[in-house]
Amino acid sequence: MTEKSGDALPISARGITKTYGPVHALDDVSLEVDSGEFLTLLGPSGSGKTTLLMVLAGFTRPDRGSLKFGGREMIRTPPHRRGVGMTFQSYALFPHMTVAGNVGYPLKLRRVPKSELDARVERALKTVRLGGFGGRRIDQLSGGQKQRVAVARAIVFEPRILLMDEPLSALDKKLRDQMQIELRHLHEKLGMTTVYVTHDQREALTMSDRIAVVNHGRIMQLATPRDLYERPANRFVADFIGDSTFLAVSRSGGRILHDGKELLLGAPVPEAGELLLMIRPERISLSPEGPRADANNFAATTAEVVYQGDSFLLHARLADGGMVALRGATRRGDAERLPSVGDAVTLCLAPEDTVLIDGSGS
């Protein structure tokens, strides 16, 4: 298990639909996961993430759709024949068994002889940095250790595909941050195709090769963390990932206007009936010297300033009533430098930070 699995499998899901009465848990979902890729399903509670993972694992049969692992159709294959390791949203460990009993369970099901089983269990435990913990009882472990036991159980039979459903959501923030890096390293080491579920956008950005943003049983966008953040396809994605404010803009010939003034743009304008200008708080800045010729300038009035230690957050009201949030780094001497409530300010947005998104259906 210290070797990269050379035979990680790609996943190809096409047109997967699953309804529960009137609820479309999955609505015609298609998803391609590359061999060895770490792909995250990110979405709010109830968006269909667990259902999709259960379809991949074989615990849920979709109403329609096809599912292939490395070219082989899987829809009728039962879970234990799919070669998939899984961690569940609750740890789903057996509380009365030892750590080794839990981790060895999938091997026992596969009738692996005892001598080999013990060696593989210990190897899996070492991989998650729990070597020597085999004899412990589950209730003697911390949350982070339980989570690692669940991961060890999922990887012990060296699956070619690993599915993880919100594995870190029960942990406190410090441990979660640490485990995110650990799971990422584990993936680099083992190399299996991984589908990871979270509702935490920062976790998704930290861990993933690519992210599929899910809402109401549909994939809203599938892209790299950077592309999702910098070029969200629609308002839902822009809202869900990072903070942003939106201003209504209009089209006039080939030009885009905000409050009657032409915007300097850095990218092509999307084809959409309704356009919004998305502003990330850290991309817009204060210009104490007033308007700049090379940027989009917004005259505004300071509505609120919040000191947050490493940064400050400023809310400003534009002439047309629109609100813009701006985040800047704090420095010594800020007390004199930062505007006060009621002060007139100029906000500058560089053309390359001017992101227009499809505002319809938001």
Cβ distance to Mg ion smaller for residue 165 or 358: 165
Q: Which stretch binds ligand ADP (CB under 6 A): 48-56, 131-139, 168-176, 200-208?
A: 48-56
Judged by beta carbon distances under 5 to 8 A according to partner kind, the member of Mg ion, ligand ADP, none in contact with residue 187 is none
Using CB under 6 A, pick the residue from 2, 3, 6, 20 that binds ligand ADP: 20
Measure the CA angle with vertex 311, ends 199 and 266; round to 5°: 75
Residue 332: how many other CB atoms lie within 10 Å:
6
Spatial CA neighbour of 277 closest among 358, 361, 360: 358
Which of 9, 16, 25, 205 binds ligand ADP (CB under 6 A)? It is: 25
Please tell me the distance from the alpha carbon of residue 362 to that of residue 205, in angstroms, as a whole number. 23
Contact pick of 43, 62, 104, 232 for ligand ADP (by CB under 6 A): 43
For ligand ADP, the closer CB: 165 or 358:
165
Q: How far is the CB of 234 from ligand ADP (least distance, A)?
A: 19
* Dist. CA 130–CA 147, nearest whole Å: 11
Structure tokens at 343: 């002060």
198 binds, among Mg ion, ligand ADP, none (CB under 5 to 8 A by kind): none
Residue 296 makes contact with Mg ion by CB under 5 A = no
Helix, strand, coil shares, percent, the chain, to 5: 25, 35, 40
Where in 322-361 is the site for Mg ion (CB under 5 A)?
none
Residue 47 in the binding site for ligand ADP (CB under 6 A): yes
Site for ligand ADP contains 147 (CB under 6 A): no
Q: What is the dihedral of CA 177, 181, 187, 188, to 10 degrees?
A: 160
Q: Looking at 48, 159, 242, 322, which residue binds ligand ADP (CB under 6 A)? A: 48
Least Cβ distance, residue 19 to ligand ADP (angstroms): 9
22 lies in the binding site for ligand ADP (CB under 6 A): no
25 touches, from ligand ADP, Mg ion, none (C-beta below 5 to 8 Å by class): ligand ADP
Window 200-229: residues binding ligand ADP (CB under 6 A): none
Cα(40)–Cα(184) distance, integer angstroms? 12
Residue whose CB is less far from ligand ADP, 23 or 264: 23
Q: Is 254 exposed, middle or buried (0-12, 13-18, 19+ CB in 10 A)?
A: exposed
Closest CA to 302 of 247, 261, 346, 353: 346
Q: Residue 256 in 3-state DSSP? A: strand
Residue 49 binds ligand ADP (CB under 6 A): yes
Judged by CB under 5 A, the residue of 50, 198, 244, 302 near Mg ion is: 50
Q: Which is nearer to ligand ADP, 50 or 346 (CB)?
A: 50
Distance from the first to the final alpha carbon of the chain: 46
Chain position carrying tokens 């790299």 = 224
By C-beta, is 25 or 279 nearer to ligand ADP? 25
What is the residue-wise DSSP string for 113-148? -HHHHHHHHHHHHHHTT-TT-TTSBGGGS-HHHHHH
Q: Which two tokens stand for residue 285?
A: 């800045």
Binding ligand ADP (rule: CB under 6 A), the pick from 11, 38, 42, 50 is 50
What is the closest distance, in whole angstroms, from the C-beta atom of residue 218 to ligand ADP in the complex?
Answer: 12
Stretch that binds ligand ADP, among 30-38, 46-54, 124-132, 333-341 (CB under 6 A): 46-54
Instruction: Give yes or no for residue 280 binding ligand ADP (CB under 6 A).
Output: no
Taking residue 163's Cβ as centre, other Cβ atoms within 10 Å add up to: 24
Q: Considering the complex, what minimum distance in angstroms separates the CB of residue 49 from Mg ion?
A: 5
Hey, is 1 helix, strand or coil?
A: coil
Q: Which amino acid is at 124?
A: A
Query: The tokens of 243 are what?
Result: 């903070």
Interface residues toward ligand ADP, by CB under 6 A:
20, 23, 25, 43, 45-51
